[in-house]
Each structure stands twice: as C-alpha cells, then as structure tokens.
Amino acid sequence: MKFLQQLSIYTKVVLVLLFSTLSFVFFQYVSREYYSGQLGFIFLFSALIVLFEGFHFSLFVKILIALFLGVAIPFLDVIPHADLVVMRPVGSKIFMNFLTMALVPLVYSSILTGVVSLGDLSKLNRIGARTLTYYIVTTAIAITIGLLVANVVQPGNHIDPQVKEQFLGKFEEVAQKKVSQATKNKKTLFETVQSVFPKNILSEAGDERPNMLSLIFFAIVSGLALLKIDQKLAAPVIAFFMGITEMTIQLVIMAMRLAPYGVFAIIGSTIASTQSFDLLVALVPFSIAVIVGLFLHVTLINTVSLKLLSKKKNVLKIFASMKEVILTAFSTSSSGATMPLTLKTVKKDLGVGPDVAGFVIPLGATINMDGTALFQGVSALFLANIYGIHLTLGDQLTVIGMAVLASIGTAAVPGVGVVILTMILVSVNIPPEGILFILPVNNLLDMLRTAVNVIGDMVCAVYIDHVEKSRTS
C-alpha cells in the first residue's frame, strides 16, 4: 500500500491513534443496537493496516509488534474479551489457510524434485537413513532432557488437594473428550506402517487432514519412477513440479504479508479466552520445567549440532536467519502450517540445497517433534507426581520409546501433542484423564514446543546439507 507509506509520519501516527480510539469507543461505549456491530473491528483493523503497511518495519518487527499488541490489549481490557475471541478466524482461518492451502502440492513437488535431483537410489538411501537417524536420536534426547529436568523439579509434588478438586471440576469434561478422541484415532505401529501405502493418493491427500506419511511415500516413489523412465518423457514432468515448488514458495511470501494481522488475532483471542488464571499459578513449576527443558534442548543439542556436526562458526547468525519461522511456528502452534515458510527459509536464507531441503523439511515437519516429545516427558512425570505413582527407570524408558514413536504419528497441527500424550500415559499406568491438569497451560506450551519442533527440522537440514556438500567437495 504505497499511498500509506507516502503519508508523513505525523499523519500516520494521528491515523493510528484516531482509528484505535474510535475502535475502543465503539467496542466499549456505543451500544450494538445503534450500529451494525462491526464498526469496532473495522476501526481496529484500519489502525493495524496503517501501522503495518504505512511504516517501513521489517516483517519480523511487524510480527513482534503484533505479538505485543495481542498480549497487551486483552490485559489492558480496552476491548471486551468476547470481541477479541470473535476475531480469532483472521488468524486461525484466513492467515493459516492461506499459508497451508498449497501444503499438499508443495510437499509432493518438493520431495519429488528433491529425489530427482539426488539422482539415484543410493544417495536417497544415504540421506534418508541419516535424516531418520538424526530425527529419532534428537527426539529421544529431547524427552530424556524433559525427564531429567522433571526429575529434578518434581513439578507435581506441590499441588494441594483443594486445587486438585478445582481442576477436576473445571477440566474433567474436556479431558474426557480428548481421551476419547485419542482412543478413536489410535493406531498400532503396524497400522501406521500400513497407512504409509495409500490406496488412492488423491483421497488421502484430499482429506481435510491429509495423510502426510502416505503423501511423502508417494512423492518418493514418483521421483524414483521418473528417474527410471525415458528422460524425454520425464523432463516436462520434472520441470512442471519444479515450477509448482517455486510457485508455492511465492505463495508463502504473499501469505506472510498477512502474518502480523493473523498473529495479532490468534494471540489476542488466545489470551482473551484464557480462563482460570488462578489455576495457572499451580502450574508454574510444571511450565517452568517444560520451558527450561526446551531452552536446554535448543542451547545444547541444536547449538552443538550446528557447531560440531555442521561445523558452523556463527551459530547466532543461523538462529537469526530462522527468526521469522520461529515466530510463525510460535504464533500458529502448527509446524505443518509453518512448513512452507520453513522450506523457503532453509533454501533461501540458510543456503541448504533444494534437493536436501525438499526432502528433509517436509519429512521433519511430519515426523520430527523434539519440543512435543520433551513436553510429553515432563508431563508424564508431572502427572505421575500428582497421582503419587512412582515411575521406575523402566517406566521412564517406556515413556522415551513411546514418545519417539508417537512423534512420528503426531499430526503437525495445534494441540495434538496433548492428545497423543494420553497414549503415552496409558503405557505407564497413569490415568489418561490426567491431562486435565495440563490443559490451562497447554496453549502457551504448544506455541513454545512448536517453535522448538521447527528449529529441530531446520538444524537437521543444515546438518544433512553439510554432510552432502563435504562429500562432493
């Protein structure tokens, strides 16, 4: 919006103040009977448009401002919380759908072209095996860190019985729903393996929740098939899908223009709909244990991987290049929705080759969830504390094994981590409804763990790229 940028700073500031004041006035003081009801929103978003489009802020700064406003406005109470909740679809639907609408073609085309440019099966096997090993090992380390921190903090030991009663009263029903959702979708390992082989890829990929594992499998074998057929026939197909990959990356750049508005709407509505602030206090030790664990994982494991495995000198610079991806994952709580941006960043800003990036990132978004696994480790111990159950070393090893397997099956969308957690709990005889003690902080922790999930994918891509490049140099 060029015309907004051409206004003087003074005019822009006045417009932002005017629109926001009008919005607050309409929301707070004018009865809905006297106007059609939408004017408050129109003024609010007009203020945001002038703020985000009129000034020359970078996208990162715009998202930070959106985050800040999303937290500050509900706390200042200038707009009724019910109204803030209503605007959630600006982020959860408009922004996130714009970002993900091309996810299926992007995953397919980027993996297919990645496999074709790897050139042969042995290279694919090598990269595939290394990527899978890296993902599994880092996930197992993440849960171990979670369990270690939780063993030290013992976060569930200090909740008094009265507070427990309050939790039961407020969250039992929601927890029950999640448990039955988990039971309904439960798959054995063998069933998960079977689901990798799609009967009809169009219906698998066309589902509202596409089966990503089968799409990845289909893309890999399509790429291998293209390598085997007459190159005259293969070339146009490959060129077509390369075009699709570039096109979808361009779509991501377009979608990211909506990021500040989407982030504002998601954060604002999340904070506005958070109830039970009193119960949050009881969960402070638990939340701190998760946050410390996530921090340790990023600073120890991801950093060590970049330094020692990928031989990168300036790790901070690499993290700085990831900043928009991290903020988007944090705000959307979905590594799936963030995946197109992750792929773009890894290729364009981290210099990872398109063949490696196209393979490692979609796979990572689907199966690698370090943050989620770490959260599940801390949660298992926390709930064991609450129920007075002693988790032996064997039990804790079971938790590690289950969480590694579960992270493969966990869909990369908001809130699934806690549903999968119920299955891990069952395996060590903790009542699965126990998740009710976690629900009040689940949204916040989901944001943080999703950010750690995508960092893990990017760090792995840098590592695999480093290994491949050192082989050829």
Contacting positions for ligand ASP (CB under 6 A): 333-336, 369, 372, 410, 412-417, 446, 449-450, 453
Nearer to ligand ASP, 261 or 375 (CB): 375
Q: Which is nearer to ligand ASP, 222 or 422 (CB)?
A: 422
User: To the nearest whole angstrom, how small is the minimum distance from the Cβ of residue 454 to ligand ASP?
Assistant: 7
Q: How far is the CB of 145 from ligand ASP (least distance, A)?
A: 16
State the residue for tokens 């599994």: 136
Q: How far is CA 468 from the centre of its chain?
A: 27
Per-residue tokens: 58: 């970078």
- 202: tokens are 């169009």
Q: How far is the CB of 377 from ligand ASP (least distance, A)?
A: 12
How does 201-232 read in b/e, with b if 16+ C-beta sit within 10 Å? beebbeeeebbbbbbbbbbbebbbebbeeeee
Contact 264, 115 (CB under 8 A): no
Three-state secondary structure call for residue 1: coil
**Tokens found for residue 380:** 């298992």
Interatomic CA distance for residues 194 and 188, integer angstroms: 10
Residue nearest to ligand ASP according to CB distances in the complex: 417
Residue 169 CA to its chain's centroid (Å):
30
Distance in Å, CB of 332 to ligand ASP, minimum: 8
Rounded Cα distance, 370 and 388, in Å: 27
Nearer to ligand ASP among residue 214 and residue 450 (C-beta): 450
For residues 140 and 119, what is the distance between their CA atoms, to the nearest angstrom? 32
For ligand ASP, give the closer residue by CB, 54 or 364.
364
Q: What is the DSSP letter of 351?
A: -
Q: How far is the CB of 316 from ligand ASP (least distance, A)?
A: 24
Which lies closer to ligand ASP via its Cβ, residue 223 or residue 417?
Answer: 417
Cα–Cα distance, 101 to 127 (Å, whole number): 28
Six-digit token pair at 60?
């990162």
> Which CB sits closer to ligand ASP, 353 or 432?
432
Q: How far is the CB of 15 from ligand ASP (least distance, A)?
A: 37
Quickly list DSSP for 161-212. HHHHHHHHHHHHHHHHHHHHHHHHH---HHHHHHHTS-S-HHHHHHSSS--H
The minimum distance between CB 337 and ligand ASP, in angstroms, equals: 8
Min dist CB 234 to ligand ASP, Å, is 35
Decide whether 312 or 449 has the Cβ nearer to ligand ASP: 449
CA dist., res. 257 & res. 275, Å (int) = 31
- Of 65 and 411, CB closest to ligand ASP: 411
Cβ proximity to ligand ASP: between 15 and 439 the closer is 439
DSSP conformation class of 84: H
C-beta of 449: minimal distance to ligand ASP in Å? Answer: 5
CB of 207 to ligand ASP, least distance (A): 17
Output the DSSP codes for 87-127: THHIIIIIIHHHHHTTHHHHHHHHHHHHHHHH-SHHHHHHH
Residue number with CB closer to ligand ASP (370 or 468): 370
